[in-house]
Structure 1
Amino acid sequence: MSFFRREREPARRSAAEEDLDSLLALVAESRGFTCAFARDGGSVTLRGETTLTVRLTGLRREAGRRAREDWPVLVSEHLAHAVATAGELDVSDLEQAGPLLRTRVEAVDEIADLTRVVGRHLNADLVELLTAAGRPVRPEEAGCWPVPTARALDLAVENVRREERLQVEQIELAGTPVTRLTGTAPSAAAHLRWLADYLPVPPDGVLVALPDPYTLLLHPVDGIGVVRAIERLRLHAARTGGLSPQVYWWHGGRLTLIRADIVARDGQTRLVVAPPPEFAQVLARLAV
């Protein structure tokens, strides 16, 4: 009796995968390419004036999270980006991109579409973006990596720490002492995680202003003088018009907004502070 080993047939493709492949082929043809899909659907080879292979794992994941009416734009952007960056760093390959991963903090309102970037919220106002070689990582690129997004962001933060130690300066804002940390990369906010390497951090944390992605302004929460510091930091941040005009509280590994509005009334300007409940309790204790 003889036995023959049958070649394993490729897994049956779902209707959604076949529809996405058809759309990919249509867009590729409109750009002057013919395409050949890998048997596992993980990539497609485009042949035209040049030949390149485009990874599809992340694109398929992103398409699965979106409505079908979003697919044409998603596919067109993905192929256009692949063609434009052919021969450059392949961010979808974590082995290549890993050493170049960094983070950058941006105001949420400055991000046109949060679904087109990879990052995590520091709070409702600020988002920590994942970048590679200085540009934001696209979800389709991160979707090709063998690690979850949270782990990739942690890798980026580790890179930031290894890359640079911030410069420490003691300055004054209208008589209020403030510590200024500055760096050469737009990743200063990542250093909040290891502030104790730069200055003594009291149990109640520190006030933080972020005038730009390269700078942190800090004041310890260690006495009732913190009320004056909030005012000085808020007015300074408003004048710089940079990353954020607000003041934050770094405590317990979290960055919490201390809302402070500049109000003009009867020809006078004053600051109206509305601290979050937990910080208000700290202020009440410090005032005793």
Structure 2
Amino acid sequence: MNADNALDTPDGPDRDLPMLTAAQAVRLRALAAPYAEDGHSFPLHNLAHLCRRAPQERWPEMVAAHFAALREARRGGAGDESAEELLHGVHARLLPTESFTPDLVGAMRYARQVADGLVFAYALDRPTSVRILTDPDVERAGLQELGEAAYANLMRVPVEYEEVTIEGHALLHSVYGDSPFVASKALFLSELARQVTGEPLPDAGALVAVPTRHLLAFHPITDGSVADAINDLAAYAYRAHQDGPGSLSPRVYWWHRGALTSLTVIDDETRTFSLQPPPELYGVMKGLVRLDRAGRLADRATAEAPDIDKLTQTTVEATAGLAQDPAGLGDAFGSALALAHAHCAADPDVARIEGWDAWAAAVQLGSALFTGAQPQECHLGEDLVRQLPAISAEPPADARAWLDAFYVSVVCRQRDRVNRLCRVPLEVLRRDDSVDEYVLHWIDTLQTYWSESPMDDVVEKLIATMKASAPEGVTRAPKDFVDLIDYQPAALFHRLITRDHDAFAEALTEALAHHATYWGESAAPRSRVALGPLAMASLAYDAGFPVEAKQPYLPTYLLNRERIEDIPG
């Protein structure tokens, strides 16, 4: 408690207590100074929040009541409560690091810092106050027994819950209540998420903020919205922490496998905040953003059916713009691929010429993206012909886009284009740090197979793909996406190279069922076609496997080659 920290402008916010003006903070520090014990000072943030809302003439009695409650809360270790009473009222509690004065640290050796700015302790909830337990309390009740009771009591604390969207960006889950223990539920966030949303947290965990002891907000890390969520949550946490009362932490944390990691870096000298995700989380975020932008992730809500006319126009404009800006080729390919999938909503067999044009355009743009192209016509429907300019071969470090280009070229029986794609150096694709290692092993397997290398080499690389796709090896993509979508082509390929017709048919049926499970009722373009399984089924069909041509998510006239026509270039 030191007035020297106040800003020079009396009407401006105080540096350390910004909820008050500098003049108000000076007065509050003066009122609190007599209550310092043995030279120890106490944080004034919560008291400042309370005083801000009250007339200044009431401040002396509020300060006296505040420190009386503190003295009562700090009284402990004298054996007043029995072990049974302690177990009945104990709760796990998060406390701000700055609240730990030297005397508290000496009396609470059991407490531990769980993340920057946060300390875990046990607190006894009593009728008129909350007391932080000290080492003698813990010894009296038993550490293990106390931990079990503290968890059970905390999870029984009632809360309110609502979903919050900030400025139309990411969805945040807000949990709040009157209890001073609400924010402490962040210690057990997956269980809390299950209680309030009905679903556990994903493998990647969640972003979470605990701005006050009465409030926490979290965002499960499931899709590309995490890029917006981290900024939205930071703004949300800062405002709530400033507003109080009961301020806990202005930071954003990453809850992952039961641990909290601060993403907020605070520069005490400049008093500025920045967000710096650790490399592991950054990789997850980048991977999810890439997956989401390419339309690969299923949304919880049913997506509206795509507008074919709008998608066509977007693809036409993107293709026409390549002469001036070749850097837009990746977006043009993505748009054409979405259009090809979307056509299969109304034309699931690709019987119509417009559908075939979209698939052909996806082939042209996809192969051009990685291998370059000569000038050629690109047909996108009746009277919609655009000139694809000459493009030099400058393959991007985008492993999943390469797979898409490979799959559509195989489906449309473009052997020369597949040959060129398989000559794209794997070293280039390895620079894509948004994918898990199994994706690169899978590309290596396909390139090795297509180059007619010895089958032993192909099998070795396929085994590496399978091992790398095990749960412990996957850190970027969501588990359900890996299991239900991404791994299925490799499983089919295994049956293809062993030439086991019955096993391939069984695996194909399973892959299509997994596709249906993953996409559910979504009308997103990629829900319409199981692209990877379609490519493997096309290879099997051409190899003489008895593949049933009429199956869901497999356009019949692409699979049986009846719709296949010449593609320019």
Q: Which of 122, 126, 130 is equivalent to 1:130?
A: 122
- AA aligned opposite 1:98: L
- Establish whether residue 121 from structure 1 lines up as the match of residue 117 from structure 2: no
- Establish whether residue 157 from structure 1 lines up as the match of residue 151 from structure 2: yes
Alignment of 1:201-212 (within 5 A): 201-212=201-212
Q: Is the 8 A contact 2:176 2:214 kept in 1?
A: yes
The DSSP-based 3-state class of the residue aligned with 1:155 is: helix
1:112 shift after superposition: 1.1
1:101 shift after superposition: 0.8
Q: Is the 8 A contact 1:224 1:286 kept in 2?
A: yes
CA distance in 2, matches of 1:248, 1:103: 18
In the other structure, the counterpart of 2:28 is: none
The DSSP-based 3-state class of the residue aligned with 2:222 is: coil
In the other structure, the counterpart of 2:88 is: 99
Q: Which of 162, 166, 170 is equivalent to 2:163?
A: 170
Q: Is the 8 A contact 1:178 1:217 kept in 2?
A: yes
Q: Which has the higher helix share?
A: 2
CA distance in 2, matches of 1:198, 1:81: 35
1:271 shift after superposition: 7.0
1:172 shift after superposition: 2.3
In the other structure, the counterpart of 2:217 is: 217
CA distance in 1, matches of 2:90, 2:160: 22
In the other structure, the counterpart of 2:559 is: none
Which is higher, the Rg of structure 1 or of structure 2?
2
CA distance in 2, matches of 1:81, 1:171: 40
The 1:98/1:224 distance shift into structure 2, 3 A limit, reads: same
In the other structure, the counterpart of 2:538 is: none
Contiguous gaps of at least 5 residues in structure 1: 1-76
- AA aligned opposite 1:90: D
- AA aligned opposite 2:278: P
Q: Which of 173, 176, 179 is equivalent to 1:182?
A: 176
CA distance in 2, matches of 1:82, 1:190: 21
The 1:81/1:198 distance shift into structure 2, 3 A limit, reads: closer
Contiguous gaps of at least 5 residues in structure 2: 1-70, 291-569
1:259 shift after superposition: 2.4
Q: Is the 8 A contact 1:119 1:153 kept in 2?
A: no
In the other structure, the counterpart of 1:196 is: 194
CA distance in 2, matches of 1:82, 1:104: 16
Q: Is the 8 A contact 2:76 2:133 kept in 1?
A: no
- AA aligned opposite 1:258: L
In the other structure, the counterpart of 1:68 is: none
The 1:172/1:140 distance shift into structure 2, 3 A limit, reads: same
- AA aligned opposite 2:282: A
In the other structure, the counterpart of 1:112 is: 101
The 1:248/1:82 distance shift into structure 2, 3 A limit, reads: closer
- AA aligned opposite 1:108: T
- AA aligned opposite 2:223: G
Q: Is the 8 A contact 1:90 1:97 kept in 2?
A: no
CA distance in 1, matches of 2:76, 2:195: 41
1:231 shift after superposition: 1.0
In the other structure, the counterpart of 2:283 is: 281
1:175 shift after superposition: 2.3
Alignment of 1:220-231 (within 5 A): 220-231=220-231
TM-score by length of 2: 0.32
1:122 shift after superposition: 2.3
The DSSP-based 3-state class of the residue aligned with 2:263 is: strand
CA distance in 2, matches of 1:212, 1:116: 25
The DSSP-based 3-state class of the residue aligned with 1:287 is: helix
The DSSP-based 3-state class of the residue aligned with 2:115 is: coil
Deviations 1:163-193 (A, max 9, x none): x332111122222321101122122244342
1:214 shift after superposition: 1.4
**Larger relative contact order (Cα-Cα within 8 Å, sequence gap ≥ 6):** 1
CA distance in 2, matches of 1:218, 1:81: 34
The DSSP-based 3-state class of the residue aligned with 2:151 is: helix
The 1:182/1:281 distance shift into structure 2, 3 A limit, reads: same
Deviations 1:146-168 (A, max 9, x none): x22x5413311211223x33211
Deviations 1:263-285 (A, max 9, x none): xx9xxxx9743111221121122
The 1:274/1:281 distance shift into structure 2, 3 A limit, reads: same
CA distance in 2, matches of 1:246, 1:258: 7
Superposition RMSD on alpha carbons, in Å? 3.0
The DSSP-based 3-state class of the residue aligned with 2:223 is: coil
Moved over 6 A (4+): none
Deviations 1:25-59 (A, max 9, x none): xxxxxxxxxxxxxxxxxxxxxxxxxxxxxxxxxxx
- Establish whether residue 253 from structure 1 lines up as the match of residue 258 from structure 2: yes
CA distance in 2, matches of 1:94, 1:254: 29
CA distance in 2, matches of 1:271, 1:174: 21
- AA aligned opposite 1:197: Q
The 1:231/1:142 distance shift into structure 2, 3 A limit, reads: same
